Structure 1
């Protein structure tokens, strides 16, 4: 890997944090979303984070203390201790807890990339948190051991990328129809009718929904809802004087009430409460 690393960092009320990013090899563009990210947090105050659904499958390679996490598959209030893990596609929020200290490397896979990497129907992992070594066995254990023995971020990213290039070397991409349908949902912000997708690829609606859910983890309608939610969040956090109703319409919702219902389903909070939780000043410019 010849990419320059990009670093961010700062102070927190209880300590400090550092994030390090590297761009994946272009050969992994179809399976990895965005950059690799290394994360270090040091502090003496507990940290709770709420993670809303997204159209990706994050993998956390843990190099430090264990995490405690929730997922929609667990009972309300139940947490489990995890080391390195994968979060399957979610249709509701999850949370992660640390004691204020964390040290990890994160890769975000496309749903179809994760399907190829783990060789499983992603529907089996929906709304769950799964141990990384349990999924990939001794290869995953060896990867983690090498990462933990390394004291340099550039070398860690190189070790990770070598592992991924080997895993994806077969070049198999799965069914093109599913990849095409997923791209259409992304490009339309989740607004393209499922019947239109099925007609275009020459499948029945039932076959498209079944195959799509099996390979990505969620049905097309569910993924469309997440794309629409994420578009709304992007607009909302950059809002100047637009009202929530105007932003909801621009994002493809019938009205603000429709958006509020969807958001509560996903986040367990109102939009305003969520933005206040992650950034107290995020709504300063948005009218009611």
Structure 2
């Protein structure tokens, strides 16, 4: 298991790990955060949307997502189209699984459109895969690596049992997601429809089922992600130029769509990134 050192969230002991080869098509990474309780232990972070879904195993104090407290030891986090406010206080000890966009449904029972913007328990989804027994076993293990090893064994076994159920639609979905990502959300979807030889409604049904949002919404997330990258690194470019390069019609459109997804304007985001580039 390879650990990836990340400069972000170092104050929370944040670590990120690559999945094993068999799970790499489905899982972007595992992450682990741990911190002892202290007198001033409140932390507020913002998780920006990229189209994926995930699982959080929480072995510490309850977490707050967008102001709502969650005491469950296991949460399934659906895809989002806006940034999520994460508040942590007291003892922090959490292990997360981050699925690639379009890949979480291989392990989750419901269409991802039903999980959009939702944080659900395994019981809400009737997920035997993520029962209390697994959470208790994970909590008893001393290291993130040991927890991930147990979790991967369970995920690989589950995947093997339903491999015959995976359809050609999964290959189409991966092609579509890779195409939109390569185009940074700026490609005309009619070209993608031609490559896949399917209609617009069929593509939208696939996206709602496997990603939880339409191809257009996913494209907006990709354009916004590219704009964030430009705002952090191309400090000499004006906001107008960055909006243009990221595929927005004009500055007003750029500001409106960026704020809708990230929660703040591009100008404020750039100022924050310049003053705290590691966060």
Normalising by structure 1, we get a TM-score of 0.84
Larger mean CA deviation between 45-54 and 257-266 belongs to 45-54
The residue number in structure 2 matching 1:141 is 132
SS in structure 2 at match of 1:228: helix
Corresponding position: 1:118 with 2:114: no
Structure 2 unmatched ranges of 5 or more: none
Alpha-carbon spacing, 1:57–1:211, altered in 2? closer, same or farther (3 Å)? same
Deviations 1:100-146 (A, max 9, x none): 53111111102332111012211110111112454323743222111
Change (3 A) 1:152 1:215: closer
**Residue 34 (structure 2) aligns with:** 40
User: 1:107 corresponds to which residue?
Assistant: 97
Q: Is the CA contact 1:53–1:93 (under 8 Å) kept in the aligned structure 2?
A: yes
| CA deviations over 1:73-103 (Å, ceiling 9, x no partner) | xxxxx52324321221111222121225311
Question: Is 2:16 aligned against 1:18?
Answer: no
Residue aligning to 1:30: 25
Query: Which one has a larger percent strand, Structure 1 or Structure 2?
Result: 1
Q: Does 1:201 align with 2:201?
A: no
Q: Distance in 1 between matches of 2:154 and 2:93?
A: 20
Q: Corresponding residue for 1:229?
A: 224
Which deviations, in whole Å up to 9, do the C-alpha atoms of 1:192-223 show, x marking residues without a partner? 22222223222221222123212210000000
Q: Distance in 2 between matches of 1:279 and 1:67?
A: 28
1:278 Cα deviation after fit:
6.5
Task: State the distance in 1 between where 2:4 and 2:178 align.
Answer: 29
Query: Alignment partner of 2:275: what SS?
Result: coil
- Equivalent pair of 1:111/1:217 in contact (CA under 8 Å): no
Please, which of 68, 93, 111 is the counterpart of residue 79 of structure 1?
68
Superposed counterparts of 1:1-288, under 5 Å: 3-5=1-3, 16-33=11-28, 35-42=29-36, 43=38, 44-70=40-66, 79-83=68-72, 84-135=74-125, 136-137=127-128, 139-169=130-160, 170-171=162-163, 172-174=165-167, 175=169, 176-276=171-271, 280-282=275-277
- 1:236-271 CA-partner distances (Å, limit 9, x unpaired): 112232222222222222233221111111123212
The superposition leaves residues 128-172 of structure 1 with CA deviations (integer Å, 9 ceiling, x where unpaired) of 111245432374322211110111222112111111111211335
TM-score of the two chains, using structure 2 as the length reference = 0.86
Structure with greater proportional helix content: 2
Which runs of 5 or more residues in structure 1 are unaligned?
71-77, 283-288
Cα 1:10–1:277 change in 2 (3 A) is: closer
For 1:238 and 1:101, the matched residues in 2 are separated by 35
